[in-house]
Structure 1
Amino acid sequence: MIAALWKPVQRDAGRHYTWGGDNDGWHLLQRHDLSVIAEHVAPGGREQRHHHGHARQFFYIVSGRAVIELAGREVALAAGQGLEIPPGLPHRFSNPFDEAVDFLVVSQPSTRGDRTDD
């Protein structure tokens, strides 16, 4: 178990999934109490509005720009900016821009089984 602490994590095929057509995600850390995902969203990509009953999330933009709809209000984010989303708050990540966006989403606890589409 402790040997895994010294093994770097990277985006690779074994951790990869796709969503919404042209969008990619990589599970960097998958535990029941904490999840870290790297995502790449193509121009025009967006997710379904939803909320989590227990998970608190933090979205951090690595490159590009994005908009997060949060309880009916839009918050624009650029590279180097992040936004916390508390449990129960409806939200939707979108990329209405002409360039792809790369970001990290950290969830505590994991969102597995904790998502309800609105």
Structure 2
Amino acid sequence: MSIKISKENAEHYIWGGVCDGWHLVKGQELSVIHERMPGQTAEVRHFHERSRQFFFVLSGQAVLEVEGVRHIIGSQEGVEVPPGVSHQMRNEGAGAVEFLVISQPTTRGDRINEE
């Protein structure tokens, strides 16, 4: 059954103590998460053994470090990260950044932290 989903009715969670996530699609084969990172925050560097991810910035500017290469991602831009590739999303600015993380298959149980 299809239902309309938004941040207002999606399952919400907090990660990193101050960052927000909303599960827009939460399936075994596909995950779509809307995330918000306040200024000067970063995710732990990690990789996924099976999951391929696509990070797409909705507003603000993020830095996605992939295998030591810095990608500055502005609004309406994205970067794909294949399985097995180390990456870290950061917000080095003062304002919040909002972005989508699309993962196939889901990343649940498939994350290996490196720090």
- Identical counterparts, % of pairs: 43
Higher Cα Rg: structure 1 or 2? 1
Q: Which residue of 1 aligns with 2:95?
A: 99
Shift, 1:91, TM fit? 0.2
Q: Distance in 2 between matches of 1:101 and 1:10?
A: 17
Report the residue type matching 1:34 in the other structure.
L
Q: Distance in 2 between matches of 1:57 and 1:102?
A: 16
The equivalences for 1:1-118 within 5 A come to: 4-5=1-2, 7-12=3-8, 15-118=11-114
Report the residue type matching 1:100 in the other structure.
A
Q: Distance in 2 between matches of 1:21 and 1:13?
A: 21
- Measured on the aligned residues, the alpha-carbon RMSD in Å equals 1.0
Q: Once the two structures are superposed, what CA deviation does each residue of 1:32-69 show, in whole Å capped at 9, x if it has no partner?
A: 00000000000011100000000000000000000001
Q: Distance in 2 between matches of 1:75 and 1:49?
A: 14
Q: Once the two structures are superposed, what CA deviation does each residue of 1:11-35 show, in whole Å capped at 9, x if it has no partner?
A: 1366000011211000000010000
Q: Unaligned stretches of 5+ in structure 2?
A: none
Instruction: Report how many aligned residue pairs link the two structures.
Output: 114
Q: Unaligned stretches of 5+ in structure 1?
A: none
2:20 is paired with a residue whose SS is: strand
Evaluate the alpha carbon distance shift between residue 53 and residue 64 of structure 1 in structure 2; reply closer, same or farther with a 3 A threshold. same
Q: If the length of structure 2 is used for normalisation, what is the TM-score?
A: 0.96
1:28 is paired with a residue whose SS is: strand
2:4 is paired with a residue whose SS is: coil
- The answer (yes or no) to whether the contact 2:10–2:24 under 8 Å persists in 1 is no
Bigger helix share: 1
Q: Distance in 2 between matches of 1:113 and 1:27?
A: 16
